Amino acid sequence: MTKTTGTAGDPPYLRIVAALRRRIADGELAPGDRVPSTRRIAAEWDVALATATKALTTLRLEGLVEARPRIGTVVAGTVLAAQARGRPSSAPDSERELSLDRIVRAAIEIADAEGLPALSMRGVAARLGVAAMSTYRYVASKEDLVLHMADAAFGEGSYPPDAPEDWRGRIELGARTLWDLYRKHPWLAHLDTLTRPLLVPNLMVHGEWVLDALDGHGLDPTTLFDIHVLLYSHVQGLAVHLEKEAHAEATTGQSEEEWMKSRGPALRELVESGRFPTFGKVLGAFEAGYDLRLDALFAFGLKALLDGLAPLVEGRRTDT
């Protein structure tokens, strides 16, 4: 367990704050550098995740660190000014200002920065600077909180009144709106499956948009809904990998490129075995390797789906 320079009688979170503040002051952590995540702090100092969250919250309130979505918590760019002010402080008592909206927004910030596994009710309370049990006056459980988070996040995407009138333009807009939301909040894609859908109003808004675009084209209800499910699975299925890659990079400390490079010998062995000639030929044709770009793959797949659906949708249009 890491030894800190804090006073022995200080609460654990303040000892962690003192140690991280010293790393920043000594230049070991420079502006923009990522500070240890809540999980790493919990393991390094042998404390609960809520304690780790409270330590990072204290540093954030002092202006020493800031949360950046999908990166984590980093040393703030204004760190020198903050250091001039800074000395150990506890989070302010904001119980009187507590609300469901504040709780949900704080939870979304945690999930955006560190992923859904890092989320806990105690961690949210610590981020808000309130007593651990205070949040339970507004949400009954973490599961309940996640549903509120999902509804709020999906509600960030809306559709303009002057949207395209043709079915294809409307579906493209709907798919890209969802993709942008998953890009902004990668944890969203992990909350449901096709067989167990997430039933929150603001996700239904996006489903309604697609169904309305397909309605009136002579499709029977089963076919219409199958198309809706297929389109949604394309967006959500690719979006799942946004969070998985971020989690893998945080866990292994390797970027996607670094990970692939470390697997070079195994890949060469497969290619040189001669068992997969087409795979070897295609791989050998890439001058600088294959660049898997999820945004481009999303757009490519969406176009292919709509091209394939066009004869079915447009061939059965009915006048309404």
Same domain, 251 and 212: yes
How many whole angstroms separate alpha carbon 46 and alpha carbon 148? 31
Same domain, 150 and 174: no
Instruction: Tell me whether residue 298 is in a domain.
Output: yes
Same domain, 109 and 188: no
Q: How many CB atoms lie within 10 A of CB 186?
A: 24
Output the domain CATH number for residue 237: 1.10.357.10
Total domains present in the chain:
3
Same domain, 147 and 218: no
Output the domain CATH number for residue 70: 1.10.10.10
For residues 88 and 14, is the Cβ–Cβ distance under 8 A?
yes
Mind listing the pLDDT tens digit for each residue in 179-221? 999 999 999 999 998 888 999 999 999 999 999 999 999 999 9
Q: Residue 127's pLDDT is what?
A: 86
- Is residue 47 classed as helix, strand or coil in its secondary structure? coil
- Is residue 312 classed as helix, strand or coil in its secondary structure? helix
For residues 54 and 10, is the Cβ–Cβ distance under 8 A?
no
CA-based radius of gyration for the chain: 24
Instruction: Tell me whether residue 224 is in a domain.
Output: yes
Output the domain CATH number for residue 133: 1.10.10.60
Q: Residue 83's pLDDT is what?
A: 47
- Out of 36, 53, 85, a domain closes at 85
Q: Residue 298's pLDDT is what?
A: 96
Instruction: Tell me whether residue 3 is in a domain.
Output: no
Same domain, 146 and 198: no
Residue 160 vs residue 246, higher pLDDT: 160
For residues 153 and 183, is the Cβ–Cβ distance under 8 A?
no
Instruction: Tell me whether residue 59 is in a domain.
Output: yes
Residue 286 vs residue 154, higher pLDDT: 154
How many whole angstroms separate alpha carbon 206 and alpha carbon 170? 11
For residues 50 and 126, is the Cβ–Cβ distance under 8 A?
yes
Instruction: Tell me whether residue 90 is in a domain.
Output: no
Strands 65-68, 72-75: pairing is: antiparallel
Residue 114 vs residue 45, higher pLDDT: 45
Mind listing the pLDDT tens digit for each residue in 77-99? 754 434 434 444 344 445 558 99
Residue 137 vs residue 261, higher pLDDT: 137
Same domain, 80 and 186: no
* Amino acid occupying residue 70: R
- Out of 38, 65, 85, a domain closes at 85
- The domain in which residue 103 lies consists of 97-154
Q: Residue 91's pLDDT is what?
A: 40
Same domain, 216 and 274: yes
Of 114, 122, 126, which Cα lies nearest the Cα of 145?
122
- Out of 52, 85, 118, a domain closes at 85
